[in-house]
Every structure is written in structure tokens, then in C-alpha cells.
Homo-oligomer: A and B are copies of this chain.
């Protein structure tokens, strides 16, 4: 469906490259949005938050190349101006349009070029998911899009999604954006429930550099094209699981594309005293530079993981009960390294692109995991290069 509802534009922000996407939502759609909690939200985030709860959204409009963040009242006026141009062109009111931006922070949009492009566009909505995902890229190395089909109650359902992001990077480039569509009719409360659950376990469980941008947003649309009885628990579970898997795939594409990343590591904390503590431990280890450089060096450095864990003062456990596994091999238990901690099998497993770290705290029943990338020389190169 959504393929027929995508327009890709050349707004003139990124030279001759496509840098704009307009998505038309079917009239039967229900929309949910989660946006950044950053205290310096970009103009689009502010506008959407004011508008979304009270209006019927018909179009999502995205630009890349400029975040329209830290742009003050001029940035706000620019956004309102291009929304007005869009609404005239699309025959709707401003309230029907939500906007998303990604790119450089602190620079004003080339608003004349943008409005000219909008006025010249014929909005046939005949582009593809792949073209849309390409048009919203900033420092991404590749397009991120997923199509998943499944059958439920005799009906074929499609889930389609795009995302962008590779850390919060290159000079002031920012932002993770994701747009996911499912061909089912849903109430607002079900849309929000699925959006929150799936985001918590996907986009909020990845980390490239522990930074949250001014523009991060995830939009989830139930297009309403098929009716499935979601009051039936089993139906609901199947639908949520399928949607969750699309969220997860899009999130994994982002972490794999982390700047300079050569590896993706799953950090699991198991049997924690509480879920909060499991998440905190995951987050801290996944963001430790010493751990991330060791990953890049293909070094099964249990000492850095244990020292990081030990430094977290709010996590409850008995140090002697902690068991650490790297790629399934127990490397540390009862307070000391095992005789496998330096084994050939372990060392050669570190050459894998996917690395698995599991820390069992044996202090409760709560589990959490997170995906992270390694910290490479290239990360430093990408993030330190900047000509002002």
C-alpha cells in the first residue's frame, strides 16, 4: 500500500540529491509518535507535539540535510512557511501535516528553495520505500527499509518501515528517525501501546555513542486497510510480534551502521534484582569506551566488563555470584577468571561480526539486553573531522 503513497522531493538542501519525503496517510489511519525528550528539541518536534494530539494527520513530511534545531524564532517561522506551502499544494490545512527534520544543527533552512520545490512538485505519490529511505539519509552508509508479510485470520498483512541514523554525528548531524506502517485498523490506544512496547525493546535498546539527539522520532501508523479482531489475545500477540520484529530489524540496521562500526555486540544482563538495574547495567557496559575499544581490538577483555560492572554503585548483587560469558564461553565466575578466559576458542570467536556478552548477576529474576557497536579509529576520524 504505502508504496503508492510516497513522494520523494529535491528540496535543494543536499545539493542535487533527493532530500525530502512526503507520505500520504490513508483516511482510515491511526498514528502514534514518540519523540526525543531532549530539552533543546528541534522545531519539528515542538510543532508535532503541539499539533498531533488535537488534529487529524493526513501527511508526514520529512527533510534531511538540516535539523532545524537551535534555530530559534526564524526556524519556527520557516517551518510554518513550508507547512503552509504544503497545505496549499495538498489541499488541506496546516494541522493535517506533521514534519520531521534531520541534519545539521543551528543552521537555518534554505526556505526559498524548499518552498519553490514544494510548489513545483506534482505530488503523484508514486515513489518507493527504498527511495524514501535513501532521501532521509544523512551520514548513513546504506538505506534502511524493511517489508514483512504475514497472514492472520485468513488475511495477508504487510508491515513496512524505514529508518535512518548512525549515531549522533558528523559535524552537527543528528538524529534517529523511523516510520513504520501496518495494514490493519487499530484504535489509538492499541497504536500507542504497540509503539511504546516495540520502541522500548528496539530503538531504545541500541547505542552507538550514548547520545540522544534533538530530533529523534519514531512514527507508527496503522493504515486501517484490514480489520483484524485485536481483542482476541492471540491475534494481538501475533500482530505485535510481527511489528516488533520490524522495529527490531530497523534498529539493528542503525547500530550496524554506527559510525566506524565493525561489530555489533549484544550485551545481556540476566537475573538482576530489578528491571531498572538490569537496564542500567546493560547501558553502562554497552557505553563503556574501554569495552567498546576492546571489541574493536577483538579482545575478550573480561576485566574491563567486570571493572565497569563493579563501578556501578546502584546495582545490587554479590560479586562472588556474578557469571560472565563471552560468546557463550564462561570467562569469569566466583570472583576470578576461569581457565577458559584466555582460550583459543574464545579468542578466535572474537573475530565474529556479532559478539555476545552475558552477565548473570544471580540476584533476582529480571533480564535486559542492549545492542552496541564497537569504538574504532574510524569513529574518532568521522567525529573529529570538521571544517567550520
Contact = CB atoms under 8 A, between A and B. Distances in A.
Interface of A: 37-41, 69-72, 105-106, 167-169, 171-172, 174, 209-214, 288-290, 293-294, 296-297, 299-304, 306-313, 317, 319, 332, 334-337, 341-342, 347, 375-377, 379-381, 383-386, 388
Contacts of A347: 388
A386 B310 contact: no
Contacts of A335: 40, 70, 72
Given A106-B303, A293-B384, A381-B377, A309 B209 contact: no
A247 to B, nearest CB: 22
A44 to B, nearest CB: 15
A297 B211 contact: no
B40 A307 contact: yes
A60 to B, nearest CB: 23
Q: Give the oligomeric copy count.
A: 2
A379 B293 contact: yes
A337 to B, nearest CB: 5
Given A40-B335, A167-B290, A375-B380, 9 more contacts: A40-B306, A106-B336, A106-B337, A211-B307, A293-B383, A299-B384, A301-B386, A376-B380, A380-B380
B40 A289 contact: no
Contact of A209 (B211, B289, B297, B381): B289
Contacts of A307: 38, 40, 105, 168, 174, 211-214
Nearest to A212: B311
